[in-house]
Amino acid sequence: MQSVAAALVRLGEVASSPTVSRLATAFAAAGHELALVGGPVRDAFLGRVAHDLDFTTDATPDQILAIITPISEAHWDIGRQFGTIGAKIAGETVEVTTYRADSYDGESRKPDVVFGSSLEDDLLRRDFTVNALALRLPEMKLVDPSGGIDDMLEGRLRTPSSPAVSFGDDPLRMMRACRFTAQLGFLVDDETEAALIELAPSIDRISAERVNEELSKLLKTDEPRRGLELLVDSGLAARVLPELPALRLEVDEHHHHKDVYQHSLTVLEQAIGYEKARGNLVSPDLTLRLAALLHDIGKPATRKLEAGGIVSFHHHDVVGAKLARKRLRELRFDNDTIAAVSRLIELHLRFFGYTEGAWTDSAVRRYVRDAGDQLERLHILTRADVTTRNKRKADRLAFAYDDIERRMAELAEKEELAAVRPDLDGEQIMAILGIRPGREVGEAYRFLLELRLDDGPLGEEVAAERLRAWWAERSPA
């Protein structure tokens, strides 16, 4: 953490920027208060780069609009009902919000919006003390009514008011606590942790869309493991992502297998490392991280205790893909993400057959075809799934995957593998067989596609001969 003096220097640099100085001058001229608040102030003390500029004021939304309209290139009031006005000033996006004093009624999934009258009261209703910091502008006065700076020095996460009251006002703050333990590396204090456990069922009041947003933010942190562990240990995961705590399988004294829960967290960590190192995906990649975390959620339902102390999980890939699809749909993820994550889970075991015997070119082509546009993510997930402490086994698997990627590259160069299609298209099929559009054309196309996958490019002449032979041998049915 930065010293207070260093943090104030950083805040001074922010305050002197064209955007902030223009905004501060305009509000002061209009006779209204203005303060930089929350994340930007916190991050100045943590030595982190602030990406958002959030302000709070005693001005009403109408007054905010009147002040910023003359100094902004654009403005919008999509958050007006919550007191927030957005604008683009000197090339930067800012949000200015009227002091708030809203709360939940204990039943509704949305707060009753009530505007407050003072900066200190606004800060005390915020989620955590480390976010309840403000810098009054233009006088550059630091405001910390709940001891947030001390908490940052101690690496402690706690609420400005009683955690029971704070989480009762907005239960989503419990998930934010999990996210901030990961994002900031802080630990929740004992009172906050006890409140998380006691009030976990109240997360059911929060809409699936808001839960989705907070879970996604947690997974997009650089090191989400600590936050996910708190999500599970507090009982929150049992309400919002029950498949995760279900991975903590009971250990049978006669049957032993690796800890599936800890393995899944390790796979997620390793996938994040590969995501950043390979550089072929935009990071953070939420789809990859969801697939890594959930890749083994089919194991609890498929676990079977075999003779000799063996534990099997047959078809957990297929079962897991179905479970992931159902859960992500309930959490309101978009269809593309749901399809991609479930496909990755379904395919995550496919490679391990390669280590049991060299694949034919046909098998390599099918692997690429089945992965489709998820191939790079599948590469990462498969490599990340190796968590064995047996170095010889890990090296063997890594070598095998290096080899399959090499063969993919060679076949791709020779055959345009990423766009595998039959040697003949539908029009050619109909001309050669003398048939009209219909089911038989589709059957012929699939036959030629299988030939292409098995034998590689054949050329139109050979493909036509094979097509005629197949057509002649078809049964009347």
Q: What is the pLDDT of residue 111?
A: 57
Among 75-84, 124-133, 356-365, 464-473, which range has the highest average pLDDT? 124-133
Give the CATH number of the domain where residue 403 resides: 1.10.3210
> Where does residue 372 fall: left (phi above 0), alpha (psi -120 to 50 degrees), or beta otherwise?
left
Nearest to 338 by CA among 317, 319, 323: 323
Q: Are residues 253 and 387 in the same domain?
A: yes
- Domain boundaries, position 462: 426-473
What is the tens place of the pLDDT at every residue in 345-363? Answer: 999 998 876 655 667 877 8
Helix axes 18-29, 61-68, angle to 10 degrees: 120
What is the tens place of the pLDDT at every residue in 185-224? Answer: 999 999 999 999 999 999 999 999 999 999 999 999 999 9
From 240, 256, 277, the end of a domain falls on 240
Q: What is the pLDDT of residue 314?
A: 84
Q: Are residues 43 and 129 in the same domain?
A: yes
Q: Judge whether residue 308 has pLDDT over 70.
A: no
Q: What is the mean pLDDT of residues 237-265?
A: 80
- Alpha carbon of 35 to those of 2, 21, 22, 140, 147: distances in Å? 21, 12, 13, 9, 18
Please give the mean pLDDT across all residues of the chain. Answer: 88
Number of domains in the chain: 4
Q: Are residues 55 and 26 in the same domain?
A: yes
Q: Are residues 106 and 126 in the same domain?
A: yes
Q: Are residues 264 and 305 in the same domain?
A: yes
Q: Are residues 173 and 123 in the same domain?
A: no
Backbone phi and psi for residue 361, each to the nearest 5 degrees, phi listed first: -60, -35
What is the tens place of the pLDDT at every residue in 100-134? Answer: 875 555 555 455 667 888 999 999 999 999 999 99
Q: What is the pLDDT of residue 110?
A: 57
pTM of the predicted protein model: 0.82
Q: Are residues 161 and 110 in the same domain?
A: no
Torsion angle of the four alpha carbons 6, 12, 15, 17, in this order, in degrees rounded to the nearest 10? -100
Nearest to 240 by CA among 290, 272, 201: 201
Cis peptide before 245 (omega within 30 of 0): no
Q: Are residues 314 and 386 in the same domain?
A: yes
Q: Structure tokens of 421?
A: 């299609």
What CA–CA distance (Å, rounded) separates 160 from 37?
15
Helix axes 208-219, 225-233, angle to 10 degrees: 140
Q: Are residues 231 and 266 in the same domain?
A: no
Give the CATH number of the domain where residue 12 resides: 3.30.460.10
Nearest to 173 by CA among 206, 143, 212: 206
Q: Are residues 5 and 99 in the same domain?
A: yes
Backbone phi and psi for residue 386, each to the nearest 5 degrees, phi listed first: -90, 105
Residue with the two structure tokens 């995957």 = 401
What CA–CA distance (Å, rounded) separates 53 from 146?
22
What is the tens place of the pLDDT at every residue in 5-55? Answer: 787 788 888 888 999 999 999 999 999 999 999 888 999 888 887 778 999
Q: Judge whether residue 420 has pLDDT over 80.
A: no
What is the tens place of the pLDDT at every residue in 430-439? Answer: 888 888 888 8
Q: Are residues 400 and 436 in the same domain?
A: no
Q: Are residues 82 and 165 in the same domain?
A: no
Q: What is the pLDDT of residue 253?
A: 44
